[in-house]
Amino acid sequence: MEQVRKLKSENINKLMFWYVIPSIAGTVIIGIYSIIDGIFIGRTVGAEGLAGVTLAFPVLIAIGSIGIMIGAGASAIISINLGKKDYEMASHILKTAFCYIILISFIITFLGLLFIDPIISSLNLAKNLENYVLQYSKIIIIGAIAQIFAISLDPLLRNDGFPKKSMVILTLMSVFNILLDYILIVVFNLGVMGAATATVLAQALGSMLYLKHFLKGKSNVKIGKNNPFSEFSIIKRIVKTGFSPFIMELAFGILMIVHNIQFIRYGSSLDVSAYGIVIYITSFLYMVYIGISEGVQPLISYNYGAKKFKRVFEILKKAVFVNAIIGICSFLTILKFPNILIKIFNPHDTNLIATTTVGLEIHNFAILILGISMVLTMYFLATEQPRIAGFLSLGRTIIFILPAILMFPIYFGINGIWWATVFSEYMGLIVTIYFIVKEIKKIKRRI
């Protein structure tokens, strides 16, 4: 428990080093293996395989969003209760999270396998492309429990005071995934099926390592003896608190579907492949931003619970500054070397390279500020203000962007689809800053 108590007294720069660096390292490694997935598919299966995985990716995202909701919601509430020294409630929250992960996972697998065929058939895709989508989707659905456990337990492990162990587990998962990618895609020529299988098996390995930490009694927060199904107040708090990151991730999946439909409507499967490559490239940066946001979340939650508000805002300011610097550096790198990044996935298809370059250069303007929006939104999650966090997430991922995706291509052609993301990110940042300014004024009155 000593690791946790240091959160309210240790030097902030040291704390950020201890928590943020392992968090960034872990999430960046996840980003790297996601990119390598795309490289293997792009170079062995080709543009059509990339399009198939891109069309199936919303399934992976939708399942992952459940894990994010439970993990983010439970970990934030646990940290706040640790700050209040309410260790019994923290243990009850942990057990509730475990039980609902299992229940929800089985429901998702059952319903997913029941409905995936008619849903994909309704898209009226070319037969070969439809097969790729179904192959990838079904394996991911079967492995839902592994994915949800792996995603949920990572923030719980960090909030338990073990950020380095989290980084080690994520590293092992990533290395295992990359090795399996090579064996299944290249050696056994399983293509898209191999990529999906590698992802599920890597997540299963991570789940077992996370579970070992909590079940073998090594954790600071112990598993409670409560019955999580007899009363629902705890799971309601978890869902409310985790709703913001859940809606962000789920909305991303919905937006991918809408993007894919619009790209096919105004372009072709080549544009879907280009969109997939842009997502792979920018997912690396997205993971960096997530790493910083998730790294400072335990620090903010604990100090907020302990009423150390000056430390809360000092941590937040440092996180915003770091994300702003990374955004500027990333923007300049992509602006200077877009073709080099794109050719990693497919160096021979000149049409694909040209199409992707246009999309990446436009999308780059969103990457510039994305990290700032994410860490500011995370503040409201970390301080258990789910309504504001949820509203901000909905603004960026649904309210602003959906009308833009539908309207912009009517006036600006296919490039309008790319510009819709940029528009929504800047509108979302303006609204987020408004709420942060209000929050700062409110807290100053309490200091």
**pLDDT tens for each residue of the chain, 447 residues long:** 555 556 666 778 888 888 888 888 877 777 776 778 888 998 898 888 988 998 998 999 899 999 999 999 999 899 888 888 898 999 999 999 999 999 999 999 999 999 999 999 998 888 999 999 999 999 999 999 999 999 999 999 988 889 889 889 988 998 999 999 999 999 999 999 999 999 999 999 999 999 999 998 778 888 888 888 877 899 999 998 898 788 878 888 888 889 999 999 999 889 999 999 998 888 888 888 988 988 898 889 888 888 888 898 999 999 999 999 999 999 999 999 998 989 988 888 899 999 999 999 999 999 999 999 999 999 998 888 888 988 888 887 788 999 999 999 999 999 999 999 999 999 999 999 999 999 988 888 776
Closest CA to 209 of 178, 242, 175: 175
125 in the Ramachandran plot: left (φ > 0), alpha (ψ -120 to 50) or beta? beta
- Residue ending a domain, among 230, 265, 283, is 230
Domain stop point among 230, 245, 260: 230
Tell me how far the alpha carbon of residue 224 is from its chain's centroid: 28
3-state secondary structure at position 23: helix
Its sign, for the CA torsion 348, 350, 353, 357, is positive
Whether residues 210 and 348 share a domain: the answer is no
**In 10 A of CB 268, how many CB atoms?**
15
What is the rounded (10 degree) CA torsion for 343, 349, 351, 354?
A: 10
What is the enclosing helix (H) or strand (E) of 131?
helix 127-142
Is residue 157 included in any domain, yes or no? yes
Amino acid 84: pLDDT: 84
Say if 255 falls within a structural domain: no
pLDDT at 308: 87
Dihedrals phi, psi of 267, to nearest 5 degrees: -140, -120
Q: Could you list the residue range(s) of the whole structural domain that residue 78 is in?
A: 7-230
The pLDDT, as a whole number, for residue 266 is 93
28 and 132 in a single domain? The answer is yes
Same domain for 96 and 184, yes or no, is yes
> Are 75 and 164 in the same domain?
yes
DSSP 8-state symbol, 143: T
pLDDT value of residue 216: 86
| 72 in the same domain as 136 | yes
Question: What pLDDT does 374 receive?
Answer: 92
321 and 383 together in one domain: yes
User: Which residue stretches of 308-400 are H helix?
Assistant: 309-336, 338-343, 350-382, 386-394
Asked if residue 40 lies in contact with residue 195, where contact means CB atoms within 8 angstroms, the answer is yes
- 395 inside domain: yes
Domain co-membership, 184 together with 291? no
What is the distance between the alpha carbons of residues 172 and 295, in angstroms, rounded to a whole number?
19
Dihedral pair phi/psi, residue 220, rounded to 5°: -75, -40
Residues 324 and 407 in one domain: yes
- Domain count across the chain: 2
**Would you say the C-alpha torsion 348, 349, 350, 356 has a positive or negative sign?**
negative
Domain for residue 214, yes or no? yes
pLDDT for 46: 86
> Whole-angstrom Cα distance, residue 312 to residue 293?
13
Residue 236 lies in a domain: no
Supply angle C-alpha 274, 281, 18, rounded to 5.
Answer: 160
d(CA 147, CA 201): 9
Query: Are 15 and 158 members of one domain?
Result: yes
Contacts of 40 (CB under 8 A, 6+ apart): 181, 182, 185, 186, 195
**Whats the size of the chain, residue-wise?**
447
pLDDT on residue 132: 95
Establish if 79 belongs to a structural domain. Answer: yes
The answer to whether position 71 is within a domain reads yes
d(CA 16, CA 259): 36
Tokens of 155: 């923030």
Residue 52 domain flag: yes
What is the sign of the dihedral through the CA atoms of 268, 347, 367 and 411? Answer: negative
Q: Are residues 151 and 216 in the same domain?
A: yes
Place of tokens 């500011």: 376
List the structure tokens of 77: 């509430």
Q: Tokens at residue 263, please? A: 């790209």
Listed residues 230, 262, 286: the one ending a domain? 230
For residues 226 and 280, membership in a common domain is answered with no
Task: Give the chain's radius of gyration (CA, Å).
Answer: 21
CA separation, residue 426 to residues 40, 61, 172, 397, 406 (Å): 34, 23, 36, 12, 18
This prediction has a pTM of: 0.78
50 and 152: one domain?
yes
